[in-house]
Amino acid sequence: MGSRSRRIALPISIFIVLGNLACGGANDAAAVDAAADEGADAMPSPIRVLPDEREACAASNPLRNPYFGDLHVHTRFSFDAAAYDVRANPASVYRFARGESQDLPPYDAEGRATRTYQLRRPLDFAAVTDHSELLAETSICTDPDSPGYTTRTCQTYRDADVRVAGYGEFFSSIGLSPPRRVVLCQLMPGLCSASLGEAWEEIQDAAENAYDRTESCSFTSFVGYEWTGTFAGNNIHRNIIFANRSVPRVPISYVDIPDPIEMLMTLDTVCNESDTPCEVVSIPHNGNLGAGDMFRAELSRGVPYTRESASMRARLEPLVEVYQHKGSSECVTGLRHPLASEDEFCSFEQVFEPVCPDGVGSAEGCTPRCEDELGPTFLRGCIGTSDFLRPALRTGLGVYAETGVNPYAHGVIASTDTHNAIAGAVDERTWPGHLGDSEDEAVELVDLDSTTVLRGRSSSPGGLAVLWAEENTRESLFSAMRRREAYGTSGPRMVLRAFAGWELDEGLCGRDDFVEQGYAGGVSMGGELRDAPADGAPRLAIWALRDPMGAALQRVQVIKGWFDGATTHERVYDVGGDATSDASVDLSDCEPQGAGEDQICTVWTDPEFDPSWPTFYYVRVLQNPTCRWSHWVCLEADVDCASISEGDPLIGCCDGHIRSEVQERAWSSPIWYLPEV
C-alpha cells in the first residue's frame, strides 16, 4: 500500500460516491451528505475485507514462467452479452477456462443449448470483467420473476434491435452524455441496489471458488469488472483487476463517475491508499474506438499533466490492452498526423475502414480522422492517433521531458473481450463468433450488411495475456502486472523474453544461462534503464519460441521511439528471422507454405542511440501467414466462388471485402531508457 502523502486532492463529488459505495449502493442522500460534511474518514469503509490465505506452491521458479490467460471476459451479467441470449454465468466461465465445455446460444424451446465449445488447452488464469454499468438492470430485465421485469425500461431493452447497438433505454443510460440512471432504478432504487449487490457477490464467489489454493497452483482467478466509459459514444473503457478478495462493496460505474481520471483517483483512494489489503490496477481497453480520447497529451481536456498526476496514472495503469476481438490498437497509418506510422504491419486486424485520404470522410467506405471530424466511433465515427499504443508511448516521452514522469509507461497484454463467456477462445479454425445467437451461422459471421463495426467479418477471436511470474498465484501474477513483465499475443501461445542492458553478452543466445544473465545484467520487458555509459548503447537480448500448435516464426522486430527535445520519432528494425520470407498459406486447404523458424534468438544493439533522448523499445514477433477464421468459415461452408451468385448470402466469402489470411504476432511490453530531466 502506498503513502497517503502522494494522494491527489479529490472533489467533493467523489466523497458522495464513496458514501454510496460504503452504503452498498443505497440512495440515502441525507446520510451521504452528512458523511461528506464530516469528511471521508467518518464514513464506513467502502472495502469489504476478506482473508486470502493459500497453501504454498509445490514448485516455484525464481527465473519465472510464462502464464497464459484472459483478463477481459463477459457473461450474462453484461447487458450487451445478455442481449444476444448469452446465459453463461461467471462460474461457468472459470470452468471453461480450466478445460470444461461451455454451452452457447441459441437455445431450443426446452432451454437446451444448440452449441457447445471447449478449449484445446486450458488457461492458467482469467478474470470475469462484466460491465459495472447496468449490472443490476441486466439481471432484473432478464429475470421473469423480478418485479422490474415488466417495466418499460426492461421492455425497451428486450425489444431493441441489437444489430445496431439498440439496447433500448440502456443505450440512453450510458451512450449519451452525461450518463444517467435508467428510469427503472430511479423509480425502484431498492430493487436495483439489492440486485447490484447480488450480482457483484456472485462474481466474487465465482472467482473464489475457481482459485486453486492448493499446492498444485493450477489456476488463478481475479475479481474484476469493466468500467464502461462511453463519452459521446466513444470507447474509453477500463478493465479493473483486484489483487485479492478485499474489494469494494460494489463496483464503480461510468454512471457513478463518468470521468476516467476521477474514477482512477477514487479507486486509488478507496483501495490502494486505504488501510486495507485492497490493491487494484486499471487496464485501458483496446483503444482503437476511442475517438482520440484515450491517451491525450494532457490529463484531461484543457488540464496539463503535473508530476503528481502523471505518477498517479502510471501507477494505476501499468498495462494496456493492445489487442482483442475489436482488433489491434498498436499503431495506425494513413493519417495526416505526426504520430501516425508508415509501418506496414499497423493495419493488422483493425475493425474500422481505411482512413479517408482527405481526412474528412468525403469518400465512401472510409473513416475520417478525429482531428478533422468529431463523432462517436461505435457507429463508424472517427479515428484518432491518441487511441493507439505506439503514439501513446511517444506522447509519454514528451510528458516525461516536461514533468519527469511518464504517464503512459504502459506494459502490454492482449485478451478476448469475449461476449460469449468463452475465456481464451482464440483458435482461428474453430472460433464460434462473439455475439451469441446473432453469430451462430456462417452467413451471420460473413454478413457484409452489418451496420456496426463490431459484428462478424470485422471482428477477430482476440488474444491472450501472458505474465512472467514465479508461480501461478494471485500475488505472483499481480506483481507481474505491476512491474509490467508481460506481453500479449494475437492468439498463439508463443513464448517471448526480452532483456536490455548496457553490457549484455553479445553471445548470449549461445549460452545456457540466457535468462540468468538477462536478469543479472539488465532489465526485463517492462523495466527501465538509467545511467547510460559515456560510450555505450542499449543492447537487447530477445528470445522467441513458436507455439508448438501454431505456425513457424517469420521474424522478430524492435520498435523504437524517442524524443529529441522537440518532437518524437519512431523506427522499426528487423533484428531476427527472415524479413524477405516468401512464406504463405494455401487458401484451398490452409496448408502453410515456405520456411520458418521454431525459435529466434538475437542480441541487438541500438545503432543510433543518443543518451540525451528518452527512448522506448518493444519487440514484435511475427508468425508465418495462416488462414483467418473467416476463411475457415467459408471453407467449412463449401463456398465455390467460381459459381456463387451475386445474391447468395455467403457472397462475402468471395468479393474481397473479407481478409483470407492473418499473420499472428506477439507484442512485448516496452523497455524504457530515461535520462535525468
pLDDT tens digit sequence for 441-465: 898 888 755 555 455 677 899 999 9
Do 35 and 106 share a domain, yes or no?
no
For residue 67, how many other CB atoms are within 10 A of its CB?
22
pLDDT tens digit sequence for 545-561: 999 999 999 999 999 99
Per DSSP, helices labelled H in 567-652 are: 629-636
The answer to whether position 58 is within a domain reads: no
Query: What confidence score (pLDDT) does residue 420 get?
Result: 97
Do 329 and 188 share a domain, yes or no?
yes
pLDDT tens digit sequence for 215-229: 999 999 999 999 999
The answer to whether position 53 is within a domain reads: no
Question: Which residues pair with residue 667 across a beta bridge?
Answer: 488, 620
Of residues 37 and 290, more confidently modeled? 290
The answer to whether position 561 is within a domain reads: yes
CA pair distance 577, 142, nearest whole angstrom: 52
Query: What confidence score (pLDDT) does residue 453 get?
Result: 47
pLDDT tens digit sequence for 405-426: 999 999 999 999 999 999 999 9
Query: What confidence score (pLDDT) does residue 66 get?
Result: 98
State the total domains in the chain.
3
Do 142 and 197 share a domain, yes or no?
yes
Query: What confidence score (pLDDT) does residue 16 get?
Result: 54
pLDDT tens digit sequence for 163-216: 766 799 998 899 877 899 999 999 999 999 999 999 999 999 999 999 999 999
* Structural domain containing residue 139: 65-467
pLDDT tens digit sequence for 454-513: 556 778 999 999 999 999 999 999 999 999 999 999 999 999 999 999 999 999 999 999
pLDDT of residue 114 exceeding 60, the answer is yes
Strand runs (DSSP E) across 549-598, as ranges?
A: 553-563, 568-577, 584-586, 591-593
Of residues 290 and 156, more confidently modeled? 156
CA pair distance 674, 389, nearest whole angstrom: 19
What values do phi and psi take at 145, rounded to 5?
-85, -5
Query: What confidence score (pLDDT) does residue 41 get?
Result: 52
Residue 572 C-alpha cell reads as 522499426
Tell me how far CA of residue 568 lies from CA of 399, 441, 560, 571, in angstroms.
11, 47, 11, 11
CA pair distance 94, 206, nearest whole angstrom: 8
Do 556 and 583 share a domain, yes or no?
yes
Stated pTM of the model: 0.93
Do 530 and 413 share a domain, yes or no?
no
Do 533 and 402 share a domain, yes or no?
no
CA pair distance 318, 403, nearest whole angstrom: 18
Query: Shortest CA distance to 449 belongs to which of 651, 659, 160, 233?
Result: 651
Question: Which residues pair with residue 577 across a beta bridge?
Answer: 555
CA pair distance 496, 620, nearest whole angstrom: 9
Do 176 and 242 share a domain, yes or no?
yes
The HSE-up count of residue 435 (CA atoms within 13 Å, CB side) is: 24
**pLDDT band, very low/low/confident/very high, at 355 (cuts 50, 70, 90):** confident
DSSP-based three-state secondary structure for 474: helix
Do 413 and 286 share a domain, yes or no?
yes
The answer to whether position 635 is within a domain reads: yes
Q: Which helix (H) or strand (E) holds 206?
A: helix 189-210
Asked which of 201-210, 299-308, 618-627 is least confident by mean pLDDT, the reply is: 299-308
Domain final position from 397, 432, 467: 467
pLDDT tens digit sequence for 579-597: 999 999 999 999 999 999 9
pLDDT of residue 368 exceeding 90, the answer is no
- Please give the share of the chain, as a percent, with pLDDT higher than 90: 75
Do 545 and 425 share a domain, yes or no?
no
Query: What confidence score (pLDDT) does residue 380 get?
Result: 47
Interhelix angle 12-22/260-267, nearest 10 degrees: 60
